[in-house]
Structure 1
Amino acid sequence: MFGALFGGASRRDRRDAVLFQGFGWDSCQKGGWYTKLKQQLPELKAAGVTHLWLPPPSHSVSPQGYMPGQLYNLEASKYGGKKELKELTSAAKKQGIACVADVVINHRCADIQENGVYNHYSDDTDHKGRRIDWGRWAITCDDPHFNGSGNRDTGADYAAAPDLDHANPELRAALRDWLHWLQHDIGFEGWRLDFVKGYAPKFVDEYVSSTVGAAALNVGEFWVDMEWQGGELAADQDRARQVLCDWVNANNKSCSAFDFPLKGVLQEAAKRTQYWRLRDARGKAPGLVGWWPEHAVTFVDNHDTGSSQQHWPFPSHLVGVGYAYILTHPGIPCVFYEHFFDWGEELRGTIKGLLEVRRRAGIKAGARLDIRAAEADFYFAVVDGRVAVKLGPRLDMGPHLPRAEDGWQQVAAGTEFCVWEKKK
C-alpha cells in the first residue's frame, strides 16, 4: 500500500533525473520555508526538476538541521512543522517531483549530561509511542569527546556531536524504523545522506535497501580531499574519484555520490582559464562523471561550498559556465536554490534554457561525451551528437564552429560559454 501511495515519482528512470537543492544555509532564518517551496513547485516543474532535496526535517541544536537531537520532532524545525512538510511532499508528488530528505544519522546530539558530557538520550518518542532512551552504548567507544561505550567507529569522527554506533543492531533498527516513517508517513522518496564518510558504506546499503530502494535517487555527501601541488590543483585527480567509485561499490550501488572532484576541477578551469583540465589523460571528463556518470551527482555550489558559508565557492561571475557544463553533460545535475531564485532573472533564464535543452535532446546521466578540444582558453564537446558546448574566452573556434548548414542552432550563450542544438 505504501509503495502505491508514495513510490510513483521515484520509480521514474533515475538516469534522466534533475535534482534541485531546495534551500541555502540561511533559509532556516526566513520563516515558513516549506510553504514558500510549495508555492514555487509549479515553476520547478515547468523548469524540468524531477527531484527536490529538502533540508533536515528534525529538531536540531543548530537551526540549519545538521545537529539533530529529537529525530521524530518535526515541529521544532526552523523550516516549518510536520503539517507544512507533508503538504509540501504531497504537492510535489502531484507535480511529479520526488522529495529527497537530508538524512543526518552519522551523529545525534544528546540532551542529558553525565560527568559534564552530553551523552544520554531520553528526549524523543517514536511513531509507535516508544521512548528513544539511548545512552552511552549508542555512541562509539573511540569518540574522543563524548565518552561512548559502543563499538568502534566504522568511519571518520565528527567532532561536534556524538558519533552513533552503526555497528549496533538495536540502533540500526531504530534508524530504519525512523526512515520508514519519513518515507511512508511524511512522503519522502529518496535520501541525501550527510557526512557518509562517518560510517561504513554497508550500512548505507542497509538503510537504503530497507526503505526507498536503490532505484530511487539517493546521494551521499562524501567530501573527498583533492590533490594539490602547493597552491595549484594537481592535473591528476584519479585518487579522489577512485575513492568515490570505491564508496559507491561498497554500498552496493544503492547510493550515488556528489561529484566533488568534478566541482574542484571545473571551477579551477574556469577561474584560472585552464580549460585543458576538462579532459583527462584518457580523453574522458574529469571527476566521478568521467568514470561512472550514472552515479555522479554533479553540482556548481551547495549550502556549504557557496551560500553565506563560502567554504569553496565557484567564481561568481562564471557560474553560468558551471551550469552550461553540468546541464549539458553526463551525470545527474543538481541546481542550487540560491542560483535559481536569488541571483537574478538572467541566471535563472540561463538555467531554465539549459534545462530545456537537456530535456529536448534527451540527455541522460550516461550520455555519450565526445571531447573535441580542451585547451587553456577553449573547451569544445558534443553530447550524444545532439548538443555542442563551448567554454572559455576564445572567440575563434576554427573548424569546431557548429554550422547552421549542418543543422546546428545556437540556443544559449553567456560569459565564456555557448551551446548549440542540432535539429532533428
Structure 2
Amino acid sequence: MNTIVLFLLFAFASVAAKKSVFEQKKEWDFRNGRNLVGFNTNDVYYQSFNWDVLSEDRSTFYQSVLDEVGNLQSAYINGIWFPPPSQTADNQGYMPGMWYTIPGGDTLQYVARNVSQRGLKVIMDIVINHRSAQYVDGCSHQYSVFKQPDWGNDKVVKHDDLCNGGYTVPDNCGPGNYDTGENTCYCPDVDHTNGEVQSDIINWLNWLQQNYSVNAYRFDFVKGYSGYYVNKYISATGPSFSVGEYFDGDTGKVDNWIQSASYSSTAFDFPNRYYLRDAINNNDYSGLQQGVNPAGVIGVYPGLACPFLDNHDTSRDDRFCGGNADKLTQGYAYILTHPGIPFVYHDDWFMSTVQQAIKIFISIRKNHQLSSTMDIYIDKHQGGLYAAYLGPGATYVGGGTVAMKLGTNSWSPSGGGWNLNTSGNNYAIWTK
C-alpha cells in the first residue's frame, strides 16, 4: 500500500473520530436541554422503612422515625419517605382498603408535622393502582365493595385478572373501562379513566396534605396505570416533589414513563441500580457509560432520575451486592457524587460504617456544588476502574469540583488543586 493511500486512510479515520466525538457531545447537550423540565437540586432523601419493620400498630414505627430525625437532619437529608398510611390487608400497606382510616394516625400526624417543621419533606407512599375491598359484591361474588371512599364494581377495570383465574368483576356485573397499564392479581385494579375515581384520589391527596403535613409523593407501581393520570394528580394537588416506581431495568421504558407523565414526576433509576450493582460485584465498570453519558436514567433525564441502591422490595431477594458493607459504601460513593436525586435506604443507614461514609459523601455533595443536573466527564470505565470528574466545569479531564474513582486499579485526578477528601476499600474522592 503506497504512502498516499495510507495518508488518506489515516486522515479519514481522524475525521471520523472527531465527528464521533462531536456527535456524542451534541447528544449530551441536547439531552441536557431536555432536562430543563427536571429538578436542579442537591437534595438527598431517605427511605424510613424496610419490608419487615412495619406492623398493624404503626405508632411504634412512627416514633422510631422521630427518634432518628435529628441524626438525619444533621446529615443534611432533605426528606423522609414514609410507608403507605392507610388501613390495609397486609402489614406493609400495599393492599390499601379504607384510605381515610390511618392506623397510628395521631402519632403519624405528630411525627410528620415535626419532620415538616424541621424543613424536611414528608414523602408519602401513594398506592392508587389497586385497592382491597371490605365486602363481597352480590353479583361478582368477589371483594369489590369498597369503603372510604365508597366504590362499586364500576371502579374496577374491565377484565381485572384474579390470581387463580377469572375476573374480579365479570362483564355482566358492570366493570369499568379496560386497564391503562399492567394488571395486579392480588387486589382489584382501579379504573383511573373514571371521573369519580380521579376526584376521590385528588381529594384524598389534598386531605393527606392538610392533615398529615404531606408535601411530596412516592407513587407505587406506576406500571399499573398510565402516566397521564400521575400528571393529572400532581397538577391538581401541587406536591413539592414526586417519584414514580417504574420497576424495570430498561432505561427506555422508564424514560417513556417519564414522558407519559409529561415530565411532572421523577422516577427511580432501576436501570442505573442494576448497572452499578453488576459493576461493583464484578469489579468491571465498562457498563457504567452509554455514549458519553452515565448509564441509566441519569444519563438521559438526570433532573428526573432518582438513583438508589436498595428499597423495601429489592432488599428482600436482590440485596445490593449481598449487603456487603464495603460494596454498599462504594455504591453510595457513586450515587451521592453523580447526577440525579439520590435516596438512602433504611437498612444501609443503620450499618454504622456505611452511615459514616454516607454522611461524608452527602457533605461533599452539598459543599462542592454537586447537583441533580451537574456536569460530568467520565474518564475511565473499564475492568478494575471507574473514574469521573463532577460538578461545575466537569466537561474535560481535570475539570469540575470533585473527582472520584471506584475499583481495584489506581487512578488520581489530573491537574492541580486536588486534595484527597475521603477513601476506603476500592473508592476514593478528591475535591478542590
1:10 maps to what in 2? none
Please name the residue that 2:423 is paired with: 413
Shift of 1:116: 4.1
Shift of 1:402: 3.1
Task: Answer yes or no: is 1:60 the counterpart of 2:77.
Answer: no
1:40 partnered with 2:68: yes
1:390 partner SS? strand
CA RMSD in angstroms, aligned pairs only: 1.5
1:7 aligned residue: none
3-state SS, counterpart of residue 314 of structure 1: helix
Higher helix share: 2
- 368-377 or 147-156: bigger deviation: 147-156
User: How far does residue 297 in structure 1 lie from its aligned partner after superposition?
Assistant: 0.3
Q: Which amino acid aligns with 1:142?
A: H
What amino acid does structure 1 have at the position aligned with 2:390? V
Alignment partners' CA distance in 1, 2:114 and 2:136:
41
The answer to whether the aligner puts 1:287 opposite 2:290 as a matched pair is no
2:358 matched residue in structure 1:
351
1:337 pairs, out of 331, 346, 361, with 346
Q: CA deviation at 1:249?
A: 1.5
Q: Tell whether the 8 Å contact from 1:271 to 1:315 is kept in structure 2 after alignment.
A: no
Are the aligned partners of 2:376 and 2:390 in contact in 1 as well (CA < 8 Å)? Answer: yes
Aligned to 1:106, the other structure's residue is in SS state: coil
- Asked whether the 8 Å contact 2:293–2:299 carries over to 1, the reply is yes
Which residue in 1 is equivalent to 2:21?
none
1:390 maps to 405
Distance in 1, matches of 2:375 and 2:337, equals 11
Distance 1:98 1:284, change over 3 A: same
Deviation at 1:304, TM superposition (A): 0.7
Q: Of 147, 153, 165, which aligns to 2:169?
A: 147
**Match for 2:129: what amino acid?**
N
CA distance in 2, matches of 1:71, 1:94: 25
Of the three residues 314, 320, 325, the one matched with 1:313 is 320
Distance between the aligned counterparts of 1:378 and 1:133, measured in 2?
Answer: 57
Unaligned runs of 5+ in 1: 1-12, 76-80, 125-131, 227-239
Which residue of structure 2 aligns with residue 23 of structure 1? 49
Instruction: Give the equivalent residue in structure 1 for 2:244.
Output: 220
CA change 1:140–1:312 in 2 (3 A) is farther
Of residues 346, 364, 371, the one that matches 2:371 is: 364
In structure 1, the residue matched to 2:129 is 106
Counterpart residue number, 1:275 = 285
Q: Distance in 1 between matches of 2:75 and 2:118?
A: 12
Residue 227 (structure 2) aligns with: 201
Structure 1 SS opposite 2:49: coil
Q: Secondary structure at the match of 2:320?
A: coil
Moved segments of 4+, more than 6 Å: none
Deviation track 1:295-335 (CA, whole Å, cap 9, x = no partner) reads 000001111111xx224533422111110000001110000
2:402 aligned partner, one-letter code: V
1:161 to 164, 169, 187: 187
Larger radius of gyration: 2
Distance 2:49 2:80 in 1: 10
CA contact (8 A) 1:183 1:212 kept: no
Alpha carbons 1:279, 1:374 under 8 Å: kept: yes
Gaps spanning 5+ residues in structure 2: where? 1-38, 163-167, 392-399
Structure 1 length as normaliser, TM-score?
A: 0.85
SS of residue matched to 1:28: coil
**What is the identity percentage for the equivalent residue pairs of Structure 1 and Structure 2?**
32
- Conserved? CA contact 1:300–1:314, under 8 Å: no
Shift of 1:40: 1.1
1:85 aligns with 2:108: yes
Structure 1 partner of 2:214:
188
Q: d(CA) in 1 for partners of 2:317 and 2:82? A: 20
Retained in 1: the 8 A contact 2:310–2:345? yes
In the superposition, the TM-score normalised over structure 2's length comes to 0.83
For 2:44, give the aligned amino acid. Answer: V
Is residue 340–residue 348 contact of structure 1 (8 Å, CA) maintained in 2? yes
Tell me by how many angstroms 1:31 deviates.
5.9
- How far 1:181 moved relative to its partner? 0.2
**Alignment-mate amino acid for residue 147 of structure 1:** V
Contact 1:22 1:53 in 2 (8 A): yes
Residues 202-225 of structure 1 deviation map (CA, whole Å, 9 limit, x = unaligned) = 100011111124xx220000012x
Aligned length: 371
The answer to whether the 8 Å contact 2:40/2:373 transfers is: no
Q: Match of 1:118, as an amino acid?
A: Y
- Output the CA distance in 2 between the equivalents of 1:348 and 1:380: 23
| Distance in 2 between residues matched to 1:380 and 1:352, nearest whole Å | 21
Which residue in the other structure is 1:49 paired with? 77
Distance of 2:283 and 2:297 partners within structure 1: 22
**Contact 2:222 2:244 (C-alpha < 8 Å) held by counterparts:** yes
Q: Structure 1: which amino acid aligns with 2:161?
A: P
Letter matched to residue 312 of structure 2 = H
User: Among 174, 181, 185, which residue is 2:200 paired with?
Assistant: 174
1:42 and 1:74, CA in 2 relative to 1: closer, same or farther beyond 3 A?
same
1:137 aligns with 2:142: no
Structure 2 residue corresponding to 1:323, chosen from 301, 316, 332? 332
Task: State the distance in 1 between where 2:384 and 2:343 align.
Answer: 26
SS at match of 1:16: coil
Name the SS of the counterpart of 2:128 in structure 1.
Answer: coil
Is the aligned partner of 1:117 residue 2:142? yes
* Contact 1:301 1:314 survives alignment (8 Å): no
Superposition deviation, residue 270 in structure 1: 0.8
- Cα distance change on mapping 1:161 and 1:14 into 2, 3 Å: farther
Most deviating of 410-419 and 104-113? 410-419
